[in-house]
Amino acid sequence: MQKKPPEIVAAVDLGSNSFHMLVCSLSNGKLITLDQLKEMVRLASGLDKDNVLDLPTQFRALACLERFGQRIRNFPPESVRIVGTNTLRAAKNAPQFIAQAEKALNHPIHIISGIEEARLIYQGVAFSLGTHGDLRLVMDIGGGSTEYIIGSGENPLNKESLHMGCVSVSNWFFPGGKLSKEAFTKAVVFAQQQLEPIETKFQSNNWDEAVGASGSLKAIANVLAAKNWSNNGITRTGLDLLVNHVNQCTHINELNLPELDDERLPVFVGGLAIAYATFKSLNIVQMTVSDGALREGLIQDLLGRIYDHDIRSATTQNLVERYHTDRQHAARIKQTVEYILDNATTQRAFVNDEDCRQFIKWAADLHEIGQDIAHSQYHKHSAYIIENGDLAGFSKQDQILLATIIRSHRRRFSFSRFLNLPAPWNQYAPYLTLILRLAVLLRRNRHDENLPEFKINLTKSKMVLKFPEGWLAQSPLTHADLAQEAGYLKEAGFILMFS
Q: Is residue 3 part of a domain?
A: no
Q: Which residue has the higher pLDDT, 2 or 295?
A: 295
Asked whether residue 123 falls in the same domain as residue 106, the answer is no
Asked whether residue 49 falls in the same domain as residue 96, the answer is yes
The predicted model gives 150-176 an average pLDDT of: 96
- Give Cα separations from 219 to 84, 209, 225, 262, 263 (angstroms): 23, 20, 10, 11, 11
The per-residue pLDDT for range 126-161, each reduced to its tens digit, is 988 887 778 999 999 999 999 999 999 999 999 999
The per-residue pLDDT for range 198-219, each reduced to its tens digit, is 999 999 999 999 999 999 999 9
Phi (first) and psi of residue 196, to 5 degrees: -50, -45
DSSP state of 247: T
Residue 231 pLDDT = 83
* Mean per-residue pLDDT over the chain, rounded: 95
- Give Cα separations from 282 to 117, 120, 202, 206 (angstroms): 21, 22, 6, 10
pLDDT band at residue 408, thresholds of 50, 70 and 90? Answer: very high
Residue 20 pLDDT = 96
Q: Is residue 302 part of a domain?
A: no
Spatial distance between the Cα atoms of 127 and 291, rounded to a whole number of angstroms: 10
Q: Is residue 335 part of a domain?
A: yes
The per-residue pLDDT for range 9-20, each reduced to its tens digit, is 999 999 999 999
Residue 409 pLDDT = 97
What sign has the CA pseudo-torsion 209, 210, 212, 216?
A: negative
Asked whether residue 122 falls in the same domain as residue 206, the answer is yes
Contact at 8 Å (CB) between 276 and 188?
Answer: yes
Spatial distance between the Cα atoms of 351 and 359, rounded to a whole number of angstroms: 12
Task: Tell me: pLDDT of 347 over 90.
Answer: no
Residue 475 pLDDT = 94
Q: Which residue has the higher pLDDT, 423 or 389?
A: 389
The predicted model gives 344-349 an average pLDDT of: 88
Residue 2 pLDDT = 54
pLDDT band at residue 448, thresholds of 50, 70 and 90? Answer: confident
The per-residue pLDDT for range 47-84, each reduced to its tens digit, is 999 999 999 999 999 999 999 999 999 999 999 999 99
CATH of the domain at 366: 1.10.3210.10
Asked whether residue 345 falls in the same domain as residue 224, the answer is no
Contact at 8 Å (CB) between 433 and 408?
Answer: yes
Task: Tell me: pLDDT of 487 over 80.
Answer: yes
Asked whether residue 191 falls in the same domain as residue 237, the answer is yes
Spatial distance between the Cα atoms of 466 and 476, rounded to a whole number of angstroms: 15
Global pTM exceeds 0.75: yes
Contact at 8 Å (CB) between 382 and 401?
Answer: no
The per-residue pLDDT for range 367-400, each reduced to its tens digit, is 999 999 999 999 999 999 999 999 999 999 999 9
Asked whether residue 419 falls in the same domain as residue 484, the answer is yes
Asked whether residue 348 falls in the same domain as residue 436, the answer is yes
The residue from 58, 88, 111 where one domain ends is 111
Q: Is residue 298 part of a domain?
A: no
Would you give the end-to-end CA distance of the chain in angstroms?
A: 36
The predicted model gives 322-338 an average pLDDT of: 96
Q: Is residue 304 part of a domain?
A: no
DSSP state of 164: -
Residue 326: name the closest of 443, 433, 431 by CA: 443
CATH of the domain at 126: 3.30.420.150
- Give Cα separations from 108 to 12, 42, 357, 426, 436 (angstroms): 11, 21, 19, 14, 25
Residue 351 pLDDT = 86
Residue 3 pLDDT = 66
The residue from 257, 292, 327 where one domain ends is 292
Residue 26 pLDDT = 82
Q: Is residue 151 part of a domain?
A: yes
DSSP state of 161: E
Residue 307 pLDDT = 87
Asked whether residue 134 falls in the same domain as residue 278, the answer is yes
Task: Tell me: pLDDT of 1 over 70.
Answer: no
Asked whether residue 98 falls in the same domain as residue 239, the answer is no
Task: Tell me: pLDDT of 362 over 90.
Answer: yes
Task: Tell me: pLDDT of 348 over 70.
Answer: yes
- Mention every residue, 6+ apart, whose C-beta is less than 8 A from residue 236: 279, 284, 285, 286
Asked whether residue 273 falls in the same domain as residue 392, the answer is no
DSSP state of 378: H
Asked whether residue 170 falls in the same domain as residue 317, the answer is no
151 phi-psi bin (left φ>0, alpha ψ -120 to 50, beta other): beta
The predicted model gives 307-320 an average pLDDT of: 94
**Beta strand pairing call for 462-466 and 495-498:** parallel
The residue from 90, 111, 132 where one domain ends is 111
Instruction: For the chain, give the percent of residues with pLDDT over 70.
Output: 99
Spatial distance between the Cα atoms of 281 and 195, rounded to a whole number of angstroms: 7
Asked whether residue 219 falls in the same domain as residue 355, the answer is no
Contact at 8 Å (CB) between 81 and 109?
Answer: no
Q: To which H or E segment does residue 148 belong?
A: strand 146-152
Q: Is residue 100 part of a domain?
A: yes
CATH of the domain at 35: 3.30.420.40
The predicted model gives 221-248 an average pLDDT of: 96
Tell me the residue range of the domain where 78 lies: 8-111
Residue 28 pLDDT = 75
Number of domains in the chain: 3
The per-residue pLDDT for range 94-117, each reduced to its tens digit, is 999 999 999 999 999 999 999 999
Q: Is residue 301 part of a domain?
A: no
